[in-house]
Amino acid sequence: PGMVNGVVLTDSMVLAPDLWSLVVDGHDIFATAARAGFNVTFQDDYFSHHIGLGEIHCGSNIWRNADVLSW
């Protein structure tokens, strides 16, 4: 599962697939890095989406406003 395939819910809130990544001293180092500046909720989507070649954003039904420029 990849963090990039999550869903940005607000300016600071993200729903992301559980990374199941490298644990060092009891901490998932990629999850720790992903939380920098964001409130991240990790969802285990391995069986529901990942093994079917999808991730969280593939299973979401979210309307996005493409008219707002944020850069």
pLDDT of residue 46: 72
Residues 11-60: tens digit of each pLDDT: 888 888 887 788 899 888 888 888 888 898 888 877 777 777 777 777 77
Question: Taking the domains of the chain in order of start, what are their residue ranges?
Answer: 3-59
H or E segment and range at residue 30: helix 29-34
Dihedral sign (CA 49, 50, 52, 53): positive
pLDDT of residue 25: 92
Residues 49-71: tens digit of each pLDDT: 777 777 777 777 766 677 777 66
| Phi, psi of 30, deg, nearest 5 | -75, -40
Question: Strand, helix or coil at 5?
Answer: helix
- List 39's β-bridge partners, or say none: 13
Instruction: Say if pTM beats, i.e. exceeds, 0.75.
Output: no
